[in-house]
A = this chain, B = another copy of it.
Amino acid sequence: MTVSKPFSFSVLQTDGRARHGLVRTARGDIRTPAFMPVGTAATVKALYADQVREAGADIILGNTYHLMLRPGAERVAALGGLHEFMRWPRPILTDSGGFQVMSLAKLRKLSEEGVAFQSHIDGSRHMLTPERSIAVQGLLGSDIQMVFDECTPWPCEEDAAEVSMDLSLRWAERSKAAFAAQAGLGRALFGIVQGSVYPRLREVSARGLVDMGFEGYAVGGLAVGEGQERMLATLDATVPMLPQDRPRYLMGVGTPEDIVLSVLRGIDMFDCVMPTRSGRHGQAFTRFGRINLRNARHAEDPRPLDPESACPAASQYSRAYLHHLFRCGEYLGPMLLSWANVWYYQDLMAGLRAAIAEGRLEAHCAALREAWARGDRVD
């Protein structure tokens, strides 16, 4: 009888810098490269949890900032934890709240201790510190927790970026110390590399975190307005400094194209609101690029989004019907497009994994981009 490690990561195959791997957790395996649908307030918006799983997702993301405010971490814990609360029994990664407290909260005040802020919902006063963030993530029962960090804004001068990155390093150390209280539960804590677009700072951050030692490493502070070129250059500078044997997570990314380009650079995990947010606003992601269902040209188009998709939302409903639902403001429009988009993203990841496993990633990515550019308009 073998006793498996509660949290582990193995690289199964590589193709260039890209990796296909497996994260094992107490609540199930995560095939990488993985895309995590975002379940901000204990629900992946407009989807049943079963649909998220059937689409192929192994893990979803929950937002610490939102959940600590509503319904509250202690309440979720009393109700059996986030998995039980939202009926998602598989792995959940929670962010630290650091990004959202700076982008959403009112009257926030940052100090060495942490961030004092007022809720954007009801104005109530709260404090997020490394210790409180980890405690909240623990109360939620998160399988993969993130260190509390300051997400350096864009643009940011190098001096300010260094001050911010140094603070994040100190907070990472405090996060790790706080996480010790959850030892033995099979949970993982990931560090987050900061340093804006400055290679020197990224190096200091990465080395500092690797010295502390984490189960995985995220690249933070990207996809905040710096543009694709700077993002990729920062990945090129940062990823090689991360341990080969730990998962690498690019936070908040992104478009299908950004994901492909990041997988090619050795990223293993992604999250983004794009598939669900775009779906709610009438935009579908397909093998043949994006389709804005609000556009009048779809009003009489009997074709489904993609007849070859295994997703019912993509293969069984006409574009004319989807267009109609969005024109009428019907719930079913966001429901169907969120479903189709989450499914498309999971299909994208499955295709990337298979291509890496079979050593044909470059050709696969070229074919993906060619189809996106070609589109499928018939007029």
Contact = CB atoms under 8 A, between A and B. Distances in A.
A43 B334 CA distance: 13
A316 B84 CA distance: 10
A343 to B, nearest CB: 14
A71 B332 contact: no
A102 to B, nearest CB: 21
Interface string A34-65: 00000001110111100000000000000000
A131 B145 CA distance: 65
Contact of A43 (B42, B75, B318, B330): B330
Kindly name the residue among A79, A324, A330 whose own CB sees the greatest number of chain B CB atoms within 10 A: A324
A167 B184 CA distance: 79
Copies in the complex: 2
A80 B43 CA distance: 35
A331 B80 contact: no
A325 B71 CA distance: 9
Contacts of A236: none
A318 to B, nearest CB: 6
A177 interface: no
B78 A317 contact: no
A43 B332 contact: yes
Nearest to A44: B332
Nearest to A78: B300
A327 interface: yes
Nearest to A51: B48
Contacts of A79: 300, 302, 318, 320-321
Contacts of A328: 41, 70
A86 interface: yes
A45 B333 CA distance: 10
Contacts of A45: 330-332
Nearest to A42: B324
Query: By CB atoms of chain B within 10 A, which of A45, A75, A320 has the most?
Result: A320
A317 B87 contact: yes
A325 B45 CA distance: 10
A216 to B, nearest CB: 29
B43 A325 contact: yes
> In this complex, which of A46, A317, A321 has the most chain B Cβ atoms within 10 angstroms of its Cβ?
A321
Interface in A83-98: 85-87
A299 interface: yes
Nearest to A323: B71
A335 to B, nearest CB: 7
A350 to B, nearest CB: 24
Given A42-B321, A43-B325, A299 B71 contact: yes
Q: Which 9 A-B pairs have the closest CB atoms?
A: A46-B331, A43-B332, A71-B324, A41-B328, A43-B330, A79-B320, A85-B321, A79-B302, A45-B331
